[in-house]
Amino acid sequence: MLVQNLLNYALEYPLQFLGILTACLVTYFYLLYPFFLSPLRHIPGPALYRVSYLPILHKARTELRNELLHNLHKQYGPIVVISPSELSFNDHKYLKDIYIRNFPKSHFYNFGNFGQTNAFSMKDNVAHIERRKRMNPLYTKSYVFSQESQTILYEKVTKLTEDIYRTSITAETPDYTSAASPFNKLGKGYILGSGNWLQPKARNLGMEMYGTFSALAMDVVTSFELGPNCSTDFLSNKQDRQIVEAHRQQSSMWFYVTSIPSLWNIAASPAIKNASVAIKQWQYNLFRKAETMVLSEKSSPPSTLKTLLDFGLAGNDVYSELADHIFAGHETTGISLSYVAWELSRPVNLEIKARLHQEMVDVFGEPPKGDSSFSPPLDSLEVIDQLPYLEAFMQEILRVHAAIPGSEPRLVDRKYVAHVGGFEVEIPRQTIVSVQPWSMHRNSEVFAQPDKFMPERWLNQAGETLEAYKTRLHLQKKFMCPFGQGPKMCLGMNIAVLEMKLCVANLYWRFDSKICGDWCEVVSRENSKGEALMGVKHCGDLMTDEEKMIMVDAYTSRPLVDELWIEWYEWEKAGGNS
Q: Which residues are annotated as a binding site for heme?
A: 490
DSSP 443-461: -TTTSSSTTB--GGGGSPP
The DSSP bridge pattern shows strands 423-426 and 206-208 to be unpaired
Strands in 206-208's sheet, in edge-to-edge order, are: 206-208, 565-570, 511-515
| Contact in structure between 65 and 59 (CB atoms under 8 Å) | yes
Cα–Cα distance for residue pair 534/415, rounded to 1 Å: 36
- Is the separation of the CB atoms in 60 and 256 below 8 Å? no
Given 3-state DSSP classes, what are the helix, strand and coil percentages for the chain, each rounded to the nearest 5?
55, 10, 35
Measured in degrees and rounded to the nearest 5, phi and psi for residue 81 equal: -80, 130
Residue 158's closest CA among 503, 569, 479? 503
The residues, any chain, with a CB within 8 Å of residue 271's CB and separated by 6 or more, are 249
Residues comprising the chain, all counted: 578
Please report how many Cα atoms fall inside a 13 Å half-sphere around the Cα of residue 232, on the Cβ side: 27
User: What is the rounded distance in angstroms from the CA atom of residue 396 to the CA atom of residue 532?
Assistant: 12
CB atoms within 10 A of CB 123: 16
H or E element in which residue 419 lies: strand 417-420
> Hey, is 521 helix, strand or coil?
strand
> How many CB atoms are closer than 10 A to CB 478?
17
Measured distance CA(430)–CA(14) in Å, rounded: 38
Distance CA 208, CA 227 (A): 28
Backbone angles phi and psi of 30, in degrees to 5: -110, 0
Instruction: Give the residue among 536, 437, 509 at the shortest CA–CA distance from 478.
Output: 437
Q: How far apart are CA 337 and CA 499, in angstroms?
A: 10
